[in-house]
Amino acid sequence: MKEEKIIEQLKERNTAVFSQLIDDYQQKVFGTCISFVPNKEDAEDLVQEVFLEVYNSISKFKGNSKLSTWIYKITTNKCLEFIRKKNTKKRSGFLKPLFSEEFSIDKTNYFTEFNHPGFLLENKELNETLFKAINSLPESQASVFTLHKIDGKSYQEIADITDKSVSSVESLMFRAKKNLQQLLYDYYKNEI
């Protein structure tokens, strides 16, 4: 079925088409959620929120992008919203200011899911440190880095999802790498 027809039927609240959409995108959306929020239960909750938002907002979809891009945009926004709420609750622990003198690792067990296909690292503590460093980046840098390096999206796909130009995405990626390099250097320097 062509995408235009799928969108039309989704707007008409065709439950069979919506169920098929969930079947087609559920694992992909979960993969993106777990990239941002590496906790299985939270990622599963976010997947449900994403599809609820898709169902409730499909009438607003204008077709300016592919349906998949729109779904990934909702997914990214839901993940970032979740991280912001988590940050508000745990100001001093979960996310640290980018240029803080000390990058400390909170030893809580928030990061429970470390077998994400985008990560081949076997050391749980190393994964935990990396995810915390990524989440300490400014939101736009963390989003671009996560979508590209963990989720495997191209710069063009990221530009479509984030409504930025490809050159902006490249610039954000460059800054994210530099900032991560500094954060991780400072962390490991203090650990020795």
The residue with tokens 């928030």 is 110
Measure the CA–CA gap between 184 and 105, rounded to whole angstroms. Answer: 11
CATH fold of 3-191: Rna Polymerase Sigma Factor; Chain: A (1.10.1740)
Q: How far is CA 186 from CA 2, 6, 98, 163, in A?
A: 51, 50, 12, 33
Q: Would you say residue 109 has pLDDT above 50?
A: no
CB neighbours (10 Å) of residue 51? 19
Percentage of residues of the chain with pLDDT beyond 90: 49
CB 76 within 8 A of CB 162: yes
Q: Would you say residue 22 has pLDDT above 90?
A: yes
CB 110 within 8 A of CB 127: no
Lowest mean pLDDT among 31-35, 67-71, 87-91, 105-109: 105-109
- Tell which residue, 86, 117, 102, 87, has the closest CA to residue 188: 102
